[in-house]
Amino acid sequence: MPSPRPTSRDVAQAAGVSQAAVSMVLGEKWRGRVSAATAARVREAAATLGYRPNLAARQLRLGSARTLLLVVPALTTEYFADLYAGAARAAAEQDFGVILYLSPTVTAPARDPFASAQSTVDGVLASSMSAEALSTIRGDRLPLVMLDSSPDAGAPTVNVDLADGARQAVEHLLGHGHRRFVHLSADVPSWTFEVRAGAVAARLASVPDASLRVVPTALTVPGGAAATAAALDEAGPRPTALVCDDDRIAAGAYKELRRRGLQVPQDVSVVALDDFAVATAVDPELTAVRFDAELFGERGVRALLALIAGADPDDRDVPVQLVVRGSTGAVSPG
């Protein structure tokens, strides 16, 4: 016999009080409305019965499910996994849940997030979304915080300071004497990659004898290899430093370099502006820009909850850190 879930009425009966009293006690709203003794009795009864409020009923009355919607373009890397984990943790601290919506890929037709979400949401956290896709989401002018998106998009944003990361990476390479740079720049029309490209170019613009070639690159291993081949095939002296928008691109660069008999880092240094599983799997391990994706999710949720509460969202950027590993070194003599 699957014992039916106890309701607040059951608790009330067990404690010898009314439903209203139960609601107040369990909702921590009984300061001076219910005696401490009765409150204790109610808690006791709730505990022994294993009572859990029916969230559907609560939502129906309160008009909120205490739920946030996290929209991500795809869950294909551990980045989004960490993002979700951090968001869920931060939300749970304030008794909010986080549900996930995988925004349609290029191929799949756009489905209504709210239909699939199966729930009423109190706010939306949108990661790496384009402005158009965005409009679908804001169906009812829900509170919205954008992650990894342009601050000009008309919604509060929380970002990772990858411009700083790109600067740090270039700085590191300059310090090793590199002057001939190639930026393997993701060919995805996303704000985050534009920022990286801008930061790399800006830093190098102030170095008189530095050169920079930007090659649009697909965000895959073969894409990285192809772009590297293109960069090396161009006329002029061979570049000595490769800045890759992510670690998969860098893995592709490794392959092409090795195919040509070039060694990392003796002949060419490589840095990645992302630090995920691939970064430490390749040999030598990648010097890469790392950030705390969980912290990112956490900040995003805090900003969104602040927005919902009517406060000013704290939109500080998440700091990044250059992790120096074996893929970068001094320019080879000659």
Partner DNA sequence: CTGTTAGCGCGTTCAG
Partner DNA sequence: CTGAACGCGCTAACAG
Q: Which does 9 bind (CB under 5 to 8 A by kind): a second copy, DNA, none?
A: DNA
Q: Which does 283 bind (CB under 5 to 8 A by kind): DNA, a second copy, none?
A: a second copy
Q: Which residues bind DNA (CB under 7 A)?
A: 5, 7-9, 16-24, 26-27, 29, 32-35, 37-39, 51, 53-54, 57-58, 60-63
Whether residue 271 contacts residue 326, with contact meaning beta carbons closer than 8 Å, is answered with no
Residue 29: name its binding partner from DNA, a second copy, none (Cβ under 5 to 8 Å by kind): DNA
Nearer to a second copy, 28 or 152 (CB): 28
**Among candidates 127, 140, 142, which has minimal Cα distance to 70?**
127
186 binds a second copy, rule: CB under 8 A: no
Using CB under 8 A, which of 216, 255, 290, 317 touches a second copy?
255
Binding of residue 254 to a second copy (CB under 8 A): yes
Least distance between DNA and beta carbon 93 (Å): 19
Shortest spacing between CB 280 and a second copy, in angstroms = 5
Note whether 76 binds a second copy by CB under 8 A: yes
Q: Which of 26, 81, 295, 306 binds a second copy (CB under 8 A)?
A: 81
Please tell me the distance from the alpha carbon of residue 275 to that of residue 71, in angstroms, as a whole number. 22
- How would DSSP label each residue in 66-115? -EEEEEES---SHHHHHHHHHHHHHHHTTT-EEEEEE---SSSPPPPHHH
Exactly one of 118, 208, 333, 334 binds a second copy (CB under 8 A); that residue is: 118
Identify the residue among 9, 29, 33, 111 touching a second copy (CB under 8 A): 111
Per CB under 8 A, 104 contacts a second copy: no
> Burial letters for 164-199: b for 16+ Cβ neighbours within 10 Å, e otherwise?
bbbbbbbebbbeeebbbbbbbbbeeebbbbebbbeb
Residue nearer to DNA on the CB measure, 8 or 128? 8
Nearest to 254 by CA among 231, 212, 286: 286
Residue 193 found at the interface with a second copy (CB under 8 A): no
Residues 6+ apart with CB under 8 A from 292: 82, 86, 318
Residue among 15 and 278 whose Cβ is closer to DNA:
15
Output the smallest distance, CB 124 to DNA, in A. Answer: 20
Provide the 3-class DSSP secondary structure of residue 278.
helix
Cis amide bond preceding 284, omega within 30: yes
Point out which residues pair with 68 in neighbouring strands. 98, 123
| Alpha-carbon gap, residue 204 to 243, rounded angstroms | 12
Q: Are strands 157-158 and 180-186 parallel, antiparallel or unpaired?
A: unpaired
Binding mask 35-74 for a second copy (x = CB under 8 A): -----------------x-xxxx-xx----xxx------x
> In this structure, what token pair is assigned to residue 20?
């209203």
Which of 28, 132, 140, 209 binds a second copy (CB under 8 A)? It is 140
Please, which residue, 63 or 236, has the CB nearer to a second copy?
A: 63
The total of other beta-carbon atoms located within 10 Å of residue 159's CB is: 22
Per-residue tokens: 110 = 């756009």
What single-letter DSSP state applies at residue 131?
Answer: H
Which residues lie near a second copy (CB under 8 A)?
2-3, 5, 52, 54-57, 59-60, 65-67, 74-78, 80-82, 84-85, 88, 92, 96-97, 99-100, 102, 111, 114-120, 140-141, 221, 247-248, 251, 254-255, 258, 276-278, 280-283
